Structure 1
Amino acid sequence: MVPPSQKAFPVSWDQFHRDARALAWRIHSEGPFEAIVCITRGGLVPAAIVARELEIRLIESVCIASYHDYKNQGELVVLKGIDEKIKALGDGTGKGVLVVDDLVDTGKTARIVREMLPNAHFATVYAKPQGRPMVDTFVTEVSQDTWIYFPWDMGLTFQPPIREGVAG
């Protein structure tokens, strides 16, 4: 359930696929990219779609946990860093590497990855205002108080009309 102070933005599989393909289209001219680094877990799905669209075969992950209870962003924990072979590509600072995530929210996770690969191209499907300066390319901006419900987090359930959730 979304707290009253937040807006809900449910995203279907079809919409997410379209948005991830739009991301690939936007970053196509920014390459060529030798590798993709996806930020898990949210970056796994868009990275797969972008990798297919841009024909990138070398895919790595960096595992950073920040949402420990699905509602509140907590302390960031790097569970798995980026392989040294990926860091060594190009000029050794991320040039030629594409970093992909589903969302940039506050920018805290993106900042950690930027420290690891300062010259990588950072792309997200969705961006919120606080985190937007940390990414080079995104598809859709949503307000900071919007909670995005990704398709892998949802099941098929009834959604009450918007009017019912508005305080009057």
Structure 2
Amino acid sequence: MSEDHAGQPKAFPVSWDQFHRDARALAWRLSGQGEWSAIVCITRGGLVPAAIVARELGIRVIETVGVASYHEYKEQGSLQVLKPVDPEIIKLGEGGGSQVLIIDDLVDTGATARVVREMLPKAHFATVYAKPKGRPLVDTFVTEVSQDTWIYFPWDMGLTFQPPINQGAFG
């Protein structure tokens, strides 16, 4: 990960309020784009935005796919499918998941997205945040951030003092 001029990694902290607004913006962008029968959320990061999108779009069927790619929170390692998609979900639409929304919090390098796209080649892939390397793999996203920025999601943070920007807190 790149560091800024003060030797600190670039950081993008996201509050619960901001994440909720961004996830609702994702639902707004998705509304009217298709007849969605189900959501497949990529665990764990996709759980929260999937719940918000499901509520906003009136989708009642939520499936999970478990893919682990981050180890020790900051280091991306090899991919491991922990839980595949239920075969009944893959059959929705004309096969290949054409009536399915895939939801995740972030597409980074695109490695996880490629694995899930292979499972559901006709599904619509949507993320709240996208980095340049992974952006071509998603159909809809809300905010693009630079590849060398680490997003701190609200479920990964506690309430602590945040140093001012001029002290190198942000890139």
Assess if the C-alpha contact under 8 Å between 1:123 and 1:136 holds in 2.
yes
- Within a 5 Å distance, the mapping from 1:40-51 to structure 2 comes to 40-51=43-54
C-alpha displacement of 1:6:
2.9
Counterpart of 1:125, as a letter, is V
C-alpha displacement of 1:5:
5.9
**What is the alpha-carbon distance in structure 2 between the residues aligned to residue 16 and residue 60 of structure 1?**
21
Identity %: 75
TM-score by length of 1: 0.95
The alignment of Structure 1 onto Structure 2 pairs a total of residues equal to 165
Of 150, 157, 170, which residue of structure 2 is paired with 1:147?
A: 150
Cross-structure match for 2:72: 69
C-alpha displacement of 1:84:
0.7
Unaligned runs of 5+ in 2: none
C-alpha displacement of 1:94:
1.2
C-alpha displacement of 1:165:
1.6
**What is the alpha-carbon distance in structure 2 between the residues aligned to residue 153 and residue 41 of structure 1?**
11
Assess if the C-alpha contact under 8 Å between 1:5 and 1:145 holds in 2.
no
Cross-structure match for 1:136: 139
Any idea what the Cα deviations from partners look like across 1:35-63, whole Å, max 9, x if unmatched? 00000000000000000000000100000
Counterpart of 1:16, as a letter, is F
Point out 4+ residue stretches in structure 1 off by more than 6 angstroms: none
Unaligned runs of 5+ in 1: none
Any idea what the Cα deviations from partners look like across 1:109-140, whole Å, max 9, x if unmatched? 00000000011000000000000000000000
C-alpha displacement of 1:161:
1.4
Assess if the C-alpha contact under 8 Å between 1:47 and 1:101 holds in 2.
yes
Distance 1:12 1:107, change over 3 A: same
- Within a 5 Å distance, the mapping from 1:88-99 to structure 2 comes to 88-99=91-102
Cα RMSD between the aligned structures?
A: 1.3
Cross-structure match for 2:40: 37
